[in-house]
Amino acid sequence: VLNYFETKCTASKEITERAKRRIPGGVQHNLAFNYPFPLAIDKAEGAHLTDRDGNVYIDFLQAGGPTILGSNYGPVNERVAEVIKESGPVTGLFHEYELKLAEIINQYMPHIEMYRSLGSGTEAVMAAVRAARAKTGKKMVIKVGGAYHGWSDTVVYGLRVPGSFRMNAKGIPWGATGRTREAFPHDLGTLKRKLIENRLRGGTAAVIVEPFGPESGTRPVPHGYNAAVRKLCDEFGAMLIFDEVVTGFRTGLGGAAGYFGVTPDLTVFGKAVSGGYPMAGGVGGKSEAMSVFGSGLDGKSGAHIQVGGTLSANPLSCAAGYFAIQEMARTNAPVVAGKAGDRLTRGLQKLIDKYGLPYVAYNQGSIVHLECSGVMLLDMRSPIKLLKENKARKTLMEQMGAAYAAHGVITLAGSRMYTSLADTDEVIDDALNRFDQVFAQ
Ligand code: PMP
């Protein structure tokens, strides 16, 4: 693996060495791997990536999930280019594409009666949590251990609370996380206990879950879990927030809410909601729940919470999301990508069995997990043990990610893959051949 990087990736190496002088750590956002060094990508198209040295890879990172249509999708690019030509990327004024995006989301997700565009999934989570607190008058927030909901203070959780999976809470004062609690993944008993305990702490404003389970379903939930969480939220007067940053549109045009038949009060979107274009984020829900987001147009500005941003709801991102969702519907992209995910998962599991490896492959449609580190066995109830095991797991995942790349496949952190409309049977079979070479070693 190291030989591949040293001999075939010299341009990437040179760029990342230079970057270390001007960019802290030499890298800003790399979801693939940084070991032995990150690859510098020049070209993304459909199911493939080309690096600065001209090496071509099968792209199962797909930018971390947003490009369900495949990378750099022409038909959306063309429509977006027309919008830029006419209005430019941003005006700071209202544009009809804001409305068109909200309308098309509502068309496929009827429970999203109203939608507010923001700049990222992180911002959308911040807005949803603030809305829930404003709406309920309660303070506490409950999330699920191991779930990533962006990097805002309330939900990036520290080691001080047993059950936490995220250790990077430096710079976040205790007060900022002091009203957040965690339940263990798919553990309804803990969730109920936290809801009861929170009654003495000002009540629970919101329970936020990824409906397919933490980390895009890395720890999957049983089918009835979301309905049970909904029931508990109703019982305790807490708002249910679905984080559909990854699953929205990817798991079907109706998202996870449609799949599970459970309606949250608020839903957080990101990634696909801008069709792979920048500024992907927003929050939506029933009109009643969304009424706290106002602009002052109705003369009640004092009653509203403040969210927004100079570039939020810009015509470029809104038009890109609108056209991308149109294309997803026209091409049936979530189903096509889901079938590619099934084919990839079946093939991987066959290879795992062929070599008798202690790995497991599983998927939720186009979200494919390839676990080689026993993540399911990590004991979230033991923070110290978890810290140690999580470090070892991270190192292993970086190395696996690099090994797959050296054989021509880019994954998310060596353990997750997103398939897309561009993944034909030929692409999947080509990838499986490459995994076969890695597993053989
Ligand atoms: N929630 C989930 C489930 C995510 O996967 C992510 C990003 N990976 C976020 C929130 C944060 O979104 P963003 O990166 O757009 O801030």
Last residue of a domain, one of 301, 330, 359: 330
pLDDT at residue number 173: 82
CA distance linking residue 310 with residue 312, whole number of Å: 6
Q: What is the CA radius of gyration of the chain?
A: 22
Which residue, judged by its Cα, is nearest atom 9 of ligand 1? 150
pLDDT value at residue 164: 45
User: Tokens in use for 189?
Assistant: 């008993």
**CA gap 419, 62 in Å, rounded:** 7
* Triad 281, 285, 291: Cα angle to 5°: 100
Contact 369, 217 (CB under 8 A): yes
Q: Can you give the pLDDT of all 441 residues of the chain as single tens digits? A: 999 999 999 999 999 999 999 999 899 989 999 999 999 999 999 999 999 999 999 999 999 999 999 999 999 999 999 999 999 999 999 999 999 999 999 999 999 999 999 999 999 999 999 999 999 999 999 999 878 999 999 998 654 444 444 445 678 887 888 899 999 888 999 999 999 999 999 999 999 999 999 999 998 999 999 999 999 999 999 999 999 999 999 999 999 999 999 999 999 999 999 999 999 999 999 999 999 998 656 656 567 899 999 999 999 999 999 999 999 999 999 999 999 999 999 999 999 999 999 999 999 999 999 998 776 666 666 667 777 777 788 888 999 999 999 999 999 999 999 999 999 999 999 999 999 999 999
Considering the domain architecture, whether residues 244 and 301 belong to the same structural domain is answered as yes
- For the record, the structure tokens of 174 come out as 């205790």
How confident is the model at residue 140, as a pLDDT?
97
Residue 92 lies in a domain: yes
78 in the same domain as 29: no
- Count structural domains, the chain: 2
Ligand 1 pocket test, candidate residues 245, 274, 311, 317, most atoms within 8 A of CB: 245
Write out the residue range of the structural domain in which residue 13 sits.
Answer: 2-60+332-440
Same domain, 314 and 340: no
**Is residue 67 in some structural domain?**
no
CB 142 within 8 A of CB 194: yes
Predicted complex ipTM: 0.99
Examine the domain organization and report whether 153 and 49 are in the same domain: no
330 closest CA partner among 28, 30, 73: 73
Ligand 1 centroid, distance to 93 Cα (angstroms) = 27
| Distance from Cα 122 to the centre of ligand 1, integer Å | 6
Q: How far is the CA of 433 from the centre of ligand 1 (A)?
A: 31
Q: Burial-class residue 40 by CB neighbours within 10 Å (0-12, 13-18, 19+).
A: middle
Could you tell me if 412 and 11 are in contact, meaning their C-beta atoms sit under 8 angstroms apart?
Answer: no
Residue 73 has a pLDDT of 98
Phi and psi for 223 in degrees, rounded to 5? -55, -35
